[in-house]
Amino acid sequence: MVLCIGIIYFLYILAKVYISIMEIGYVSKAKNMTPVILPPKEYLEAAQYRISSERINILNSLFDYVLFIFWVGFGLRWLNNIIQIDNELLKSVIYVDLFITINYIFSLPFEIYSKFYLDKKYGFSNITMKIFAQDLIKTAIMFYIVGSSIIYAISYIIQTFDMWWIWGFVFIFAIILIINLIYPTFIAPLFNKFIPLENDDLKESIENLMQKAGLKSSGIFTMDASKRDNRLNAYFGGLGSSKRVVLFDTLIKKLNKNELLAVLGHELGHFKHKDIIKNIFIMGLLIFLMFAIFGNLPVQLFGAFGLEKTPYMQIVFFLLLSPIVAFIFMPIMGLLSRSNEYAADEYGSECESPSTLASALKKLATENKSFPRSHPIYIFFYFTHPPLIKRLEKLGMKVD
């Protein structure tokens, strides 16, 4: 049984590494082709950024495998031995908190390298060590307060109910909905400054778009995204009455009014087609499947690793192995998501025009250094949006 789990995890890591290697090889050749969509300089930079990112992903995946071997071979028993607490619920909180903390500490060098070297090299990151430290402290406080409470509750559910995985799913899914509900008004403002959109003309145009789509929001805001990153984005956040429109300050600087409206029209297309509800439903199905799998692991599995089937050990096995389940279902979720994106593009083009949306998409790709070509297997597994070439062709644009 131990060997079986080890082989499954090895194949999972092997698949991720293989996909990254295929993407690196494909982009390395494609960067020498005639540039499309992006200007020549930006086309080459986007290719180099993709290659560098995938190399880091390979190292990260290999390190994940080493960390997995450490945990199942020694770490889980070691952590269990050093936490000598009789109260099982309290031990669950401390055990899982330490497990997650140790994993994060080991992964921190990759995050620091990406933000302070790779992203700065390609002109994305504006983050300072002070902001990074502040974000880290705020996230840690939220995790140790809210996260620990959730771990305690899940441990109690496991300890109390025979079919705990059903109640555990209901609890976690409810937490996810609550987080989505309070994110725009409570969580996001802890990290960024949000101010009401001051451009009255643009505000009125956006409100007209929302009225046509039947969307009611709690306001239209700009976010100071540029203090961390130069990428462009916009989103509709929240659920119910907490919904708000958020425009990155970088987006407002780079797109003209019509292009902005086309991008927001695309986002409104997701609302109009109820993609948010669909995504929540699909996410719920995946989480339910995970709870069904990891809630019914045989006691012999834990025994094979020299462990007991305790609440905290079941949670840790969920955290260790659930990425494999998510990876298997990624192509299905990606396929559905890409289909939704085409429909949202169609709606966005109707809000302005196909050429306006196409112009906005090209600017987004240029500023975000999104390389327009990718290996089919990479698209199959990782792309939630269709390749930009396909999106522009769908809009009736000639790609050059």
Instruction: Give residue-wise pLDDT tens across range 70-116.
Output: 999 999 999 999 998 889 999 999 999 999 999 999 999 999 999 99
pLDDT reading at 391 higher than 80: yes
185 vs 359, residue with greater confidence: 359
Indicate the pLDDT class of residue 304, thresholds 50, 70 and 90. confident
| Residue 166 within a domain | no
Mean pLDDT, all residues of the chain: 91
Residue whose C-alpha is closest to residue 128's, from 120, 118, 140? 120
> Alpha carbon of 336 to those of 23, 213, 280, 350, 380: distances in Å?
22, 22, 13, 22, 11
Q: What is the pLDDT of residue 87?
A: 92
| Residue 213 within a domain | yes
The one-letter amino acid at 325: V
235 vs 90, residue with greater confidence: 90
83 vs 240, residue with greater confidence: 83
399 vs 46, residue with greater confidence: 46
pLDDT reading at 364 higher than 70: yes
Sorted by sequence, the CB contacts under 8 Å of residue 62 that are 6+ apart come out as: 13, 17
| Residue 378 within a domain | no
Q: Distance (Å, rounded) from C-alpha 167 to C-alpha 173?
A: 10
Domain tally, the chain: 1
Which residues span the domain enclosing 217?
194-271
pLDDT reading at 39 higher than 80: yes
Q: What is the pLDDT of residue 237?
A: 74
Q: What is the pLDDT of residue 336?
A: 93
Indicate the pLDDT class of residue 48, thresholds 50, 70 and 90. very high
Q: What is the pLDDT of residue 400?
A: 65
| Residue 376 within a domain | no
| Residue 250 within a domain | yes
Please give the span between the terminal C-alpha atoms of the chain, in angstroms, as a whole number. 54
Token representation of residue 398: 């000639």
Instruction: Give residue-wise pLDDT tens across range 322-343.
Output: 999 999 999 999 999 999 999 9
Edge-first strand order for the sheet with 194-196 is 194-196, 220-223, 244-248, 234-237
Q: Beta 234-237 vs 220-223: how paired, if at all? A: unpaired
CATH number at residue 198: 3.30.2010.10
Token representation of residue 42: 């930006």
Instruction: Give residue-wise pLDDT tens across range 133-149.
Output: 999 999 999 999 999 99
Rounded mean pLDDT of 217-228?
A: 87
Q: What is the pLDDT of residue 259?
A: 92
Q: Any idea of the CA torsion for 186, 189, 191, 196, to the nearest 10 degrees?
A: 160
Q: What is the pLDDT of residue 242?
A: 67
Q: What is the pLDDT of residue 200?
A: 87
Angle between helices 164-182 and 275-294 (to 10 degrees): 150
> Alpha carbon of 126 to those of 53, 117, 246: distances in Å?
18, 11, 20
pLDDT reading at 241 higher than 70: no
pLDDT reading at 218 higher than 80: no
| Residue 259 within a domain | yes
Rounded mean pLDDT of 186-198?
A: 89
Indicate the pLDDT class of residue 123, thresholds 50, 70 and 90. confident
| Residue 21 within a domain | no
Q: What percent of the chain has pLDDT over 90?
A: 67
The one-letter amino acid at 189: P
